[in-house]
Structures are given as C-alpha cells and as structure tokens.
A and B are shown apart, each in its own frame.
Chain A
Amino acid sequence: MVDHTASRGTTLVSVEPSLWAKSGTALWRFWRMQPLGAIGGLLVAGLIVVAVFAPQIAPYGPKITEFDAYLAPNDMHIMGTDHLGRDVFSRVVWGARLSLYVGLTSVGIGITLGALWGVITAYFGGVLDATTQRLVDVLMGFPPIVLALALMAVLGQSVNNVILALIILLVPTAARTMRSSVLAIRELAYVESAQAVGCSHWRVIFYHLVPNTLGTYIVLFTVNIAYAIVVEAALSFLGLGSPPDEPSWGGMLTAATESLERAPWIAFFPGLAISLMVFGMNLLGDSIRDLTDAKLRGQIGNE
C-alpha cells in the first residue's frame, strides 16, 4: 500500500494490484476479445501440462510390451493396448512430450536460423543475396514431404534426425519471408539515418531491423509449430520418421491402419490427440496473429 498524503491533510491511498490479479485480468480480457483463441489456448496449455508431467500422468512406460495385445479399453488400460501389448494411454501421454520436443526444437532452431539468414542477406544485398536466394529457390523446388523423406533416407531413423530434416525444411521458407520483410523497410529513413550517424551494420540489424520485423517472425513461429509436429507424425506414419518403438502419435497410426477393424482404439486415440493439438494450435495462432497484427500496425514500416 502506498500512502500519498495530499497537501491539505487528506490521505489518498492507492493499492497496487498483485501479479495474480493482473494476470487474471489479462486472461479475462483475452477470453472476451478472442474466445476462440482462448479455447485454443486451453488445448495447448493442456498439451504442455501433459507433456511436462508425462512421467507422473502415464501409468506405465511407453515402451513396455508385457501386456496382452489388442485389449479393448478397460479399467487397467483406459485406452486399451496396441498390437505389441503396450498401453495406449501411456504412449499417447509420452507422445505429447515427443511432439512438443520435436515441434519446439525444430521450429526454434529452424525459423531462427532462417530468419537470421534472411535478414542478414537482405540487409547486405548484392552478390551474397543473389546467390543465397538461388539456394533458397532450389530448396523450395522440392515438395516438402518428398525432401523430408529423402533426408531421412540419408540420415537414418531417429527423433533427432527428424528434427534435423525439419530444420532443413523450415529454414528456406523463413529466410524468404523474413527477407521480403526486411526489403520493405531497408530503404526507410530511420535505417539511413542510423547508418549516417555511424552505427555499425550489426547494430542496425539487431537494434533497428529485427525489432521491426518481429511480427513476421512471431507469425512464422506460430504457424510452423503445428506444421512441424504434423510433418513428424506423417514421416513416422510412413515409417521413415521416429523409430517405431518411440511413442510418436504418427507412428502409432501406422500399425493401427492394419488393425482398423478389430482394434480401432489403437488409431482412434492418437488420431484424436493429433486433431485436438492441431485444432488448438491453429485457433491460438490465429488469434495471436490478430492481436499482434493490431499492435504492430503502429510500428514504422509495418503498414
């Protein structure tokens, strides 16, 4: 409590709201402004909680095969068991962790590297820009899944190789998008004056260009996390992503396709998990984009 004493002897008291109250109000406002986004946010938050607390939530380990195969959902196994006798519920829970790990790492590294590449080459221009853009053209000339398959064929099956393949997939798109973003603001007055005052190139890039292209970066980031997770699932589904013993939701669907008639639950639960996750991320991403777009509209050069 802060005590302001006015000159006439009356006491004005102002109360600083606590951190809890402030976050509560912010969330409430977000719910009112973007109800769909809030639903998406809940789904994504649920996903994160499940991923982080997987060891506590899952009743059994994801790779343990001691149970009877093809058990329908019952008390012991609330989502049944799969064709190798593994508990489906535990695999779905650990799968959340794997999906989040793959999604965040590949997008974090890939989009950031691509963005840096795009920004730096767009700023310096010239031969550097021209040659790297040819490389980006070539990489974007491949259908993405086909390129990812070829990369996995070369690298071999493992979760980290999937991340590497995803990074190679994401870097060109990020580079191209960020490059066009920088090209739009490179010739503006404040960049020129920063250079005239004697700012080094790196200072101009990191203090002026990057903050003003942050909106594009955020959009790239949010759009591609769901994409990366789905590509990992697709690759694992085709048998060329995560190794089959890993609890990848896509990988769980491969075996499930053969036993669709006798044991639909093996496919149903991972499928449901993927759908909810994509749906939630799309909703959340859309509303974040709406919000940041409105906020960033005031920034120089972002109209």
Chain B
Amino acid sequence: MYTYVMRRMMLFVPSLIGVTVVIFVLMRAVPGDMAEIIANEAGTQSAAVVEQQIIQIRAEMGLDRPYVTQYLSWMGGLLVGDLGYSYWEKRPVSKIIAERFPRSMELALLTILLAMLWAVPLGVVSAVRQNTWADYVGRIISISGLSLPLFLTGILILYFLVTVFYWLPPLDFANFFDDPVENLQQLIWPALAQAFYISAPITRLTRSQMLDVIREDYVRTARSKGLTEHIVVYRHALRNALLPVVTFIGWWGGRLLGGIVIMEIIFGVPGMGTSLIDSVNHRDYPTTQAIVLMMALVFLCLNLIIDLAYGWLDPRIRYT
C-alpha cells in the first residue's frame, strides 16, 4: 500500500508543477501585458505620459524581471497564500477565491450527490430487471440526458422555471450558513440540470458493471447460501460493481468543473465560474490565473484521492 501511495504522489507533484508552468506561460503570452492595460485605463493622456506610466507600473509589478524570476516569485506567493491583486475588483485575489470557491464546491457536491442518488439505483434496477420495460425506460431517460448539451438542458430548465413558475434567479446570493433553505433553492436547479446530464454515463456504467458482477460465482454462492435477494444484490454485488463507477466520477470531474462554469452563468450563481468569465472579459489576468489554477488543483486532487481510495478499496490494484 505504501509503495502505491508513494508512486501515485510522485505523479501528482510534477503534474501540479507542470500545470502552474502552463498557466504562467499562457498568461504571459497575452498580447499587451497588465501594465499597458492599467495605464490605458487611467484615462486619456498623451502617449508619452502613458509610456512613462507603463514603465513605472511594470517596475512596480515586477514585470520587467526575467520570466524565471517572475515565475518563482509567483510560486513563492502561492505557497504563502498570496494570489495577486485584482485590478478590476480592487482587492486581493485570495479574497475573491475565498468567497467564491465554497459556492462552486457546494454546487459540485450537490450535483454529484443528486446524480448518484438518481443514477445508481436506476442502473441497478436496469441490470436486475434486464430487458424489461423498467430497463428500457431507464435507458431512454439516461440517453436523452446525455444527448442534450449541458447548456441546453440548463436553458430549458430556466425557461421552464421562468414561464411556468415565474421564478428568476435572485440577485442576492444566500450563503449556506446564512440561510440554508434559500441557498438550496437557488442551487438545486443548476445542480439538477447537470446531474441529469452526468447521470447517463453513470447509469450505463452501473448497469453494465452489475450485469457483469451478477454472473460471478460469488453471487451464485451467496444465493445458494440462502441469503435474501436484497442482501445478495446490495451487500455483495453492488459493492464490487461500484468501484469503476467511483473512478469514473474522478475522471468525469474535469468535465463537471467545466459544466459548473456554464451552470453558474445560466443561473446567475456568483461562484468561480462567473468570476472566471468576468475576469477574462475585463482582462483581469491575476484573477483568471488564480481561478484556472484552483480548478486544475481541484481536478488533480480529486483524481489523486480517487486513485488512492481505489487502491484502498480494491486490494488487487496495490500489487500492479
């Protein structure tokens, strides 16, 4: 187990460093750096004065140092928790992230919870009652969920809410600890839309896994021992069938994060997604940089946790 953990961690760290390098290079590749943007935004002035300001701001922000130095100082700042300063929102980026990160994560957790609650039982039923009408209905529902692109499902749900219930996303966002009911009311719809979308592959995977597992010998043994069908299915078969589903969620986590950006925009949730789009539109590169980094970090950590959990749950993996 120990060597497995060590090997897995050794994959994690270089990937993380690589991600920071890619983000750093991307942000520096933008034509026109931060200093030009700030100086030009200060208002109409003669070109010579603007030039002066650009050079001055560059020196202040450290943009005239060699790239390696800039990268190292940025990394140093990251380790301490200093993510830079947002010139658009006029406050440190870490404050923006601290505010928005929990909201996006809450949405993500809610989405996964809803998807699992819906998709896994559906998959089990589909498998246990294979080729009956329950199976077919389940498969049709899940395929229709996947066929519509995510933002379409979101727009459809929004349209439905607006026209039938006269409900619009409220302007003030309620935090979970302030007002749980209001908070859940706002988040349930984007979570539902995305859960519908990702439940399709989960259902299909659960179904095919259960179909494989049910034919195994140990299930037959359990049945012949006289255990009730309920125990056989849920305690013996499902546990083993669920392992690949767990890895799948890890793999799908990346697309989930991308989907969260879209859902936040459609339903007006002020999370990391809306912040990302805003910062790109306002050319607020420190914020963009930080948000992309946070999302990649979450994705990498999620994969790490899933791999480690998988190694713990399935002893066969540890010895490969």
Bound Cα distance from A282 to B299, whole angstroms: 27
* Interface pair B19/A257, CB less than 8 Å apart: no
Q: Which residue of A lies closest to B298 (CB)?
A: A143
Q: Which residue of B lies closest to A140 (CB)?
A: B254
Binds B, one of A17-25, A113-121, A260-268: A260-268
Given contacts A146-B261, A278-B149, contact A137 B277 (CB under 8 A): no
Bound Cα distance from A140 to B302, whole angstroms: 13
Residue B95 is within 8 A (CB to CB) of chain A in the complex: no
Bound Cα distance from A281 to B163, whole angstroms: 31
* Interface pair B254/A144, CB less than 8 Å apart: yes
Q: Which residues of A are found within 8 Å of B110, using beta-carbon distances?
A: none
* Interface pair B280/A153, CB less than 8 Å apart: yes
Q: Which residues of A are found within 8 Å of B261, using beta-carbon distances?
A: 145-146, 149, 238
Bound Cα distance from A138 to B29, whole angstroms: 18
Q: Which residues of A are found within 8 Å of B158, using beta-carbon distances?
A: 257, 260
Residue B26 is within 8 A (CB to CB) of chain A in the complex: yes
Q: Which residues of B are found within 8 Å of A149, using beta-carbon distances?
A: 261, 276-277, 280, 292
Q: Which residues of B are found within 8 Å of A151, using beta-carbon distances?
A: 26
Bound Cα distance from A154 to B159, whole angstroms: 33
Bound Cα distance from A152 to B281, whole angstroms: 11
* Interface pair B281/A239, CB less than 8 Å apart: yes
How far in angstroms is the closest Cβ of chain B from A291? 19
Binds B, one of A8-16, A82-90, A179-187, A229-237: A229-237
* Interface pair A141/B151, CB less than 8 Å apart: no
Give per-residue flags for B26-42: 1 if the beta carbon is below 8 A from chain A beta carbons, else 0: 11011000000000000
Within 8 A of A (CB), among B73-111: none
* Interface pair A144/B258, CB less than 8 Å apart: yes
Residue A253 is within 8 A (CB to CB) of chain B in the complex: yes
Bound Cα distance from A230 to B146, whole angstroms: 12
Q: Which residue of B lies closest to A145 (CB)?
A: B258
Q: How large is the interface on B (under 10, 10 to 19, 20 to 34, 35 or more residues)?
A: 35 or more
Q: Which residue of A lies closest to B17 (CB)?
A: A138
The B interface is mostly helix, strand or loop, or mixed, namely: helix
How many residues on A have C-beta within 8 angstroms of the other chain's C-beta atoms? Answer: 40
Give per-residue flags for A259-294: 1 if the beta carbon is below 8 A from chain B beta carbons, else 0: 011001001000100110011001000000000000
Within 8 A of A (CB), among B10-34: 11, 14-16, 18-19, 21-23, 26-27, 29-30
Q: Which residues of B are found within 8 Å of A250, using beta-carbon distances?
A: 151
Give per-residue flags for B263-289: 1 if the beta carbon is below 8 A from chain A beta carbons, else 0: 001100000000011001100000010
Residue A67 is within 8 A (CB to CB) of chain B in the complex: no
In the A-B complex, the 6 residue pairs with the smallest Cβ-Cβ separation, listed nearest first, are A145-B258, A138-B18, A143-B257, A143-B254, A153-B280, A230-B149
4 additional contacts, CB 8 Å, given A144-B255, A145-B257, A149-B276? A141-B15, A149-B280, A239-B277, A260-B163
25 pairs of residues in contact across A and B, judged by CB atoms under 8 Å: A134-B18, A138-B14, A141-B18, A141-B19, A142-B254, A142-B296, A144-B254, A144-B255, A145-B255, A146-B258, A146-B295, A147-B292, A154-B27, A154-B30, A240-B280, A253-B152, A257-B158, A260-B162, A261-B162, A267-B155, A267-B159, A275-B147, A275-B148, A275-B152, A278-B148
Residues on A facing B (Cβ under 8 Å) = 134-135, 137-147, 149-154, 230, 233-234, 237-240, 250, 253, 256-257, 260-261, 264, 267, 271, 274-275, 278-279, 282
